Amino acid sequence: MAKGKTLVIGDFILDEYIFGSVEKISPEAPVPEFVLNGDIEYKAGGAGNVACILHGLEVETYLVGQFGSDEKTMAFLDTSLPDDLGLWMVNCRQTITKTRFIDSHYNQHILRVALEHREDLDDRVEMAVKDIFAKQGPFETVIFSDYDKGLLTEKTIWDIRGVLAQIDENIAVLADPKIKNWRGYGPTVMRYLPDLDCVTPNHREIAEIYGVSADEVYTDAVHFADKVVSEQQIKTCIITLGAMGAAYCTAEGPQGHIPTRPREVFDVTGAGDTFFAVVSYLWGRYDIEEIIHLANEAAGQTVQGLGNQMIDKRTWGDRFIERKVMRGEFNDG
């Protein structure tokens, strides 16, 4: 069954990769001197990466994100994003940009520079969501891809959830949340909001939320997933644990830990995006353990290359079917 139309709402990040070489230590300070003698590449990061992954899985995908009108952003949008990826651009002063300097000879990540400018976008975001539903709806799934870069705030999240409740309470709503906006994904006494279907925080975020160590979350992740489900009134919580896989709990009762297999790690950029995108892609069509197994596998694939390594329908569609055949849920026909 094909995945229905999906709306991604979140922080668009422009990932810039500058390739060169380190040939000596600077005479001015004990730091490497980086020589710009290679290419410059741009990739969609943040919510943009999530949207591109879903698009690569042949999902009709739309993205509400913040974009500046700077030269880098305009060139990227003109040349590097799929033409049929629907963009609803919330105008801001400057696109969030993460610039990475890479030593080409040793494939070594030398430095990352962040360019961020925050501004109040609340009213513009809500208007964009209403506009896209009026012109492109209905949507089967809405996902919040939150990087705490200014597009999403507690108020904005509550307002958008209110808009969704008025349109259709059966829309599947998933979130990859950030701590600053944590309350926005839970209940509010101000109005009725349907419970979110799923959140996918990582273990460090859960540790900060509950004031415990990351090690404590590692050793008892299922317990903390259960706390999230009960306290935040969320139907399913999946806590990602890096190399340890993920733990989950559902409001209906099932809970557990799903390990992942060891891999050689080159670059963890985009692994969390891939996990979340695959969970969203499979949501409602597979059981929770199968979803996590496949999301773990997809995220593991991305850490073995540089930057945001894309998965697509060509390489992943058959794997989904094969897994289900092994479980006896498909016949040979």
Domains of the chain: residue spans and CATH: 6-196 (3.40.1190.20)
Mean pLDDT over all residues of the chain? Answer: 86
Instruction: Provide the residue count of the chain.
Output: 333
92 within 8 A of 66, measured Cβ to Cβ: yes
For residues 298-332, one letter each, b for 16 or more C-beta atoms within 10 angstroms of the residue's C-beta and e for the rest, the string is: bbbbbbeebbbbbbeeeebeeebeebeeeeeeeee
Residues 6+ apart with CB under 8 A from 77: 67, 87
273 is catalytic: yes
Q: Please give the average per-residue pLDDT across 6-11, as a whole number.
A: 96
d(CA 128, CA 136): 12
The model's pTM: 0.89
Residues 6+ apart with CB under 8 A from 315: none
For 79-102, write each residue's pLDDT tens digit: 788 888 999 999 888 899 999 999
In the predicted structure, residue 268 carries a pLDDT above the cut 60:
no
Looking at per-residue confidence, does 171 or 75 come out higher? 171
Residues 6+ apart with CB under 8 A from 192: 165
Least reliable range by pLDDT among 2-16, 27-41, 176-190, 250-264: 250-264
d(CA 71, CA 144): 27
208: number of Cβ within 10 Å: 14
Residue 310 DSSP code = -
Q: What's the pLDDT at 54?
A: 93
267 within 8 A of 307, measured Cβ to Cβ: yes
Q: Which of 11, 159, 176, 273 is catalytic?
A: 273
Provide the pLDDT confidence category of residue 326 given band limits of 50, 70 and 90. low
Q: What's the pLDDT at 248?
A: 97
**Residue with tokens 């306290």, as numbered in its chain:** 231
For 271-298, write each residue's pLDDT tens digit: 888 899 999 999 988 889 989 988 888 8
HSE-up (13 A, CA, CB side) for residue 151: 33
166 within 8 A of 133, measured Cβ to Cβ: no
Provide the pLDDT confidence category of residue 160 given band limits of 50, 70 and 90. very high
* ∠ Cα 155 271 278 (to 5°): 75
HSE-up (13 A, CA, CB side) for residue 153: 12
Q: Please give the average per-residue pLDDT across 48-68, as a whole number.
A: 93
Provide the pLDDT confidence category of residue 305 given band limits of 50, 70 and 90. low
Q: Please give the average per-residue pLDDT across 185-194, as a whole number.
A: 83
Q: Please give the average per-residue pLDDT across 165-176, as a whole number.
A: 90
Q: Report how many helices (DSSP H) and strands (DSSP E) the chain contains, helices first.
A: 10, 14
d(CA 265, CA 53): 20
40 within 8 A of 125, measured Cβ to Cβ: no
